[in-house]
């Protein structure tokens, strides 16, 4: 067997969003860190996050209230210990961001003092969302990227995919089973390289690209979940895919999000005839949790045979709207809409993966040396429905807690001196790339139709049959042809689609984001859905 190492480091972080970069910056003072980015380093869901970060900064608010709001939004399925851990450490982790140069909007109170401007979003009983206008994710990501690029101990590799994790027993190493690195598809060089690392961290984000309509960027293809599953890690709650209620309905901007903060500042949801409908569904009206709002929109669209519903904030002062939502206002103008004067057409779209790789309070997975943080992970925070602006917070808190654990364990970790090189001796270049494109579109379409906002057992069974057929085709293709970015993403998406459907089939009730016409009631006891890989 040929042995080689193209890269080596103390910690390999796969993903360059808020979770990955905050962890990298915390570790880099003492350790050599490599950050793998599938596209440009700043491309990912963090960059597009509009709303903000939830944390208790107001004297009338409390950590207990943040905990209770999260538990209610999670529809009985949150892990209270995890929720308490994250809410309790929220302020210190947001303060770390501020200390590192992220600026959040402030307002001047009547007494002349400046305080952070806190907005309110669905499910929150208080104003506790720190934000940077309506582009909070951009402020966080650009600041962290700038810090990481200038740090001597952080090495960033762009335009490169992790292919799979390298696990000790699979390459004949003795001792306890652990991760020792990863294979990397370097798209710049068009070759598979190896990276040796004492610890590997999955910070790859979610899997919303499995659906035809999504607010997520193209990189959100479930890579970390699929790689962890193939390496023997458990996953949980993948039936809970959050559909953001208000994605712009426009052919030139299919994944443009209209932040929940618009509803927090008084926007109404309306039918095509201009009447409001949320009061018919929930006492909290437009500020009900996202699962309820998305189902209400879906219900009205189907009932009326309408292509979309509408979001209207034109009754608020124009200056207020422009100053609070400048990015959205300018973007909509380029598409022919004036946010201050007219209702905006919207539809729900896949937005956030609430389940993922099972981890403990330090982000540790079932595989020694492997961590998962951010949207790729299942911590127990989100339960059956994520509450708005808890996601960036989870990234930051687990970036901190994982860093603490990694720094404690690294000195005791034995270093592997050699890794097997990637074997391409039995593969050819494909002349049938159209097969990948066809399978890609088929998967996303039937996941939208069969595993969407409203489900049935028959639809789920149909989806699983289609997935099984696709998996056979993709496995055969993967075995015989050289890899490509699209093949790697499709392989991972099909794997995650299978896990989503299996989780959905296992839940014989409707709860939060999982609504099935065959089991419309809730069970008395709320339990997570956990899938265990077969013996590796």
Three-state DSSP class for residue 179: strand
What is the predicted pLDDT for the residue at 133?
84
Residue 491 has pLDDT above 90, yes or no: yes
Q: Which two tokens stand for residue 59?
A: 């004297």
Any idea what DSSP says for residue 536? -
Concatenated DSSP letters of 224-263: HHHHHHHTT--EE-TT-EEEEEEEE--TT-TT-B--THHH
- Read off the CATH number of the domain in which 223 is found: 3.50.50.60
Residue 265 has pLDDT above 70, yes or no: yes
Q: Range of 316's domain?
A: 244-350
CA distances from 65 to 73, 379, 387 (A): 12, 20, 13
Percentage, residues of the chain above pLDDT 90: 76
Residue 2 has pLDDT above 50, yes or no: no
Number of Cβ within a 10 Å radius of residue 360: 14
Examine residue 291 and state whether it is found in any structural domain, yes or no: yes
Q: What is the mean pLDDT of residues 186-194?
A: 90
Ranges of beta strands (E only) in 110-178 are 114-116, 118-119, 129-130, 154-157, 160-167
pTM, two decimal places: 0.91
Across the chain, how many H-helices and E-strands are there? 15, 22
pLDDT band at 536 (very low <50, low <70, confident <90, very high): low
Examine residue 288 and state whether it is found in any structural domain, yes or no: yes
Q: Residues 185, 227: one domain?
A: yes
- Gap between the Cα atoms of 478 and 475, Å rounded: 5
Residue 330 has pLDDT above 60, yes or no: yes
- Known catalytic membership, residue 290: yes
Helix (H) or strand (E) holding 185: strand 179-186
Q: What is the mean pLDDT of residues 315-324?
A: 96
Q: Residues 226, 313: one domain?
A: no
Map tokens 């009205």 to a residue. Answer: 300
Q: What is the mean pLDDT of residues 207-221?
A: 91
Q: What is the mean pLDDT of residues 288-295?
A: 88
Q: Residues 32, 162: one domain?
A: yes
Higher-confidence residue: 378 or 415?
Answer: 378
pLDDT band at 355 (very low <50, low <70, confident <90, very high): very high
pLDDT band at 1 (very low <50, low <70, confident <90, very high): very low
Task: Identify the top-confidence range among 368-377, 382-391, 485-494.
Answer: 368-377
Q: Residues 358, 344: one domain?
A: no
Q: Longest C-alpha distance within the chain, in Å?
A: 74
Map tokens 């989503």 to a residue. Answer: 500
Q: Residues 179, 144: one domain?
A: yes
Three-state DSSP class for residue 290: helix
Give backbone dihedrals phi and psi of 214, rounded to 5 degrees, phi first: -150, 150
Point out the domain boundary residue: 298, 316, 350.
350
Q: Residues 153, 42: one domain?
A: yes
User: Exactly one of 138, 196, 290, 295 is catalytic; which is it?
Assistant: 290
Q: Which two tokens stand for residue 39?
A: 């596209």
Examine residue 493 and state whether it is found in any structural domain, yes or no: yes
> pLDDT per residue over 304-318, tens digit each?
999 999 999 999 999
Q: Residues 457, 388: one domain?
A: no
Q: Residues 184, 157: one domain?
A: yes
Examine residue 86 and state whether it is found in any structural domain, yes or no: no
- Gap between the Cα atoms of 436 and 430, Å rounded: 10
- CA neighbor of 360 nearest in space, from 167, 168, 79: 79
> pLDDT per residue over 238-258, tens digit each?
999 999 899 999 988 877 889
Q: Residues 340, 363: one domain?
A: no
CA distances from 90 to 8, 258, 379, 396 (A): 33, 25, 15, 8
**Angle ∠(456,458,460) on CA atoms, nearest 5:** 70
- Read off the CATH number of the domain in which 496 is found: 1.20.58.100
- Please state the domain count of the chain: 3
Q: Residues 44, 161: one domain?
A: yes
Examine residue 94 and state whether it is found in any structural domain, yes or no: no
- Gap between the Cα atoms of 133 and 280, Å rounded: 31
Percentage, residues of the chain above pLDDT 70: 96
Point out the domain boundary residue: 334, 350, 366.
350
Examine residue 479 and state whether it is found in any structural domain, yes or no: yes
> pLDDT per residue over 18-48, tens digit each?
999 999 999 999 999 999 999 889 888 888 8
What is the predicted pLDDT for the residue at 120?
87
- CA neighbor of 380 nearest in space, from 111, 82, 101: 82
What is the predicted pLDDT for the residue at 517?
94
> pLDDT per residue over 111-169, tens digit each?
888 889 998 888 899 999 999 988 898 999 999 999 999 999 999 999 999 999 999 99
Round the average pLDDT of the chain to a whole number and report it.
92
Q: Residues 389, 499: one domain?
A: no
Examine residue 215 and state whether it is found in any structural domain, yes or no: yes
- Read off the CATH number of the domain in which 345 is found: 3.90.700.10
pLDDT band at 479 (very low <50, low <70, confident <90, very high): confident
- Range with lowest mean pLDDT among 81-90, 175-184, 474-483: 474-483
Q: Residues 187, 319: one domain?
A: no
What is the predicted pLDDT for the residue at 335?
96
What is the predicted pLDDT for the residue at 388?
87
Examine residue 99 and state whether it is found in any structural domain, yes or no: no
């Amino acid at each position: 067997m040929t042995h080689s190492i193209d890269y080596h480091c103390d910690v390999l972080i796969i993903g360059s969003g808020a979770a990955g970069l905050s962890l990298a910056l915390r570790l880099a003072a003492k350790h050599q860190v490599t950050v793998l980015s599938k596209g440009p380093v700043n491309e990912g869901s963090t960059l597009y996050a509009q709303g903000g970060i939830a944390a208790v900064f107001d004297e009338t608010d409390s950590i207990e209230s943040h905990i209770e709001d999260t538990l209610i939004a999670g529809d009985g399925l949150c892990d209270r210990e995890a929720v308490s851990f994250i809410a309790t450490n929220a302020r210190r982790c947001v303060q770390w961001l501020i200390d590192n140069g992220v600026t959040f909007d402030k307002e001047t109170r009547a007494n002349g003092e400046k305080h952070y401007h806190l907005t309110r979003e669905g499910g929150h009983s208080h104003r506790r969302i720190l934000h940077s206008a309506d582009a909070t994710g951009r402020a966080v990501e650009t600041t962290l990227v700038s810090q990481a690029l200038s740090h001597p101990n952080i090495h960033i590799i762009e335009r490169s995919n992790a292919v799979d994790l390298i696990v000790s027993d699979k390459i004949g190493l003795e001792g306890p089973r652990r991760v020792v690195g990863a294979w990397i598809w370097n798209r710049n060089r068009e070759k598979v390289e190896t990276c040796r690392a004492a610890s590997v961290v999955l910070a790859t984000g979610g899997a919303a690209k499995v659906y035809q309509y999504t607010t997520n960027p193209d990189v959100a293809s479930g890579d970390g979940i699929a790689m962890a599953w193939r390496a023997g890690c458990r996953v949980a709650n993948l039936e809970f895919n959050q559909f953001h209620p208000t994605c712009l309905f426009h052919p030139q901007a299919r994944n443009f999000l209209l932040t929940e903060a618009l509803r927090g500042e008084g926007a109404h949801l309306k039918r095509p005839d201009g009447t409001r409908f949320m009061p018919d569904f929930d006492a909290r009206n437009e500020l009900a949790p996202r699962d309820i709002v998305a189902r209400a929109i879906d219900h009205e669209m189907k009932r009326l045979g309408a292509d979309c519903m509408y979001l209207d904030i034109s009754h608020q002062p124009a200056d207020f709207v422009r100053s609070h939502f400048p990015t959205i206002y300018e973007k909509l103008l380029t598409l022919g809409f004036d946010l201050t004067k007219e209702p905006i057409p919207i539809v729900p779209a896949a937005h956030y993966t609430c389940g993922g790789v099972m981890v403990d309070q330090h982000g540790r997975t079932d595989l020694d040396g492997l961590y998962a943080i951010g949207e790729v992970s299942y911590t127990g925070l989100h339960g059956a429905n994520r509450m708005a602006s808890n996601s960036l917070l989870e990234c930051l808190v687990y970036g901190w807690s994982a860093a603490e654990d990694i720094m404690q364990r690294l000195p005791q970790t034995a270093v592997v001196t050699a890794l097997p090189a990637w074997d391409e001796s039995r593969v050819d270049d494909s002349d049938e790339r159209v097969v990948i494109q066809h399978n890609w579109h088929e998967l996303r379409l039937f996941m939208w139709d069969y595993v969407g906002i409203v489900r049935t057992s028959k639809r789920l069974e149909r989806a699983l049959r289609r997935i099984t057929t696709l998996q056979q085709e993709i496995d055969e293709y993967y075995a015989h042809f050289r890899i490509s970015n699209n093949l790697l993403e499709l392989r991972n998406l099909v794997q995650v689609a299978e896990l989503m459907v299996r989780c959905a089939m296992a839940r014989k009730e409707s709860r939060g984001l999982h609504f099935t016409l065959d089991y419309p009631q809730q069970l008395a006891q709320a339990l997570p859905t956990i899938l265990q890989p077969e013996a590796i």
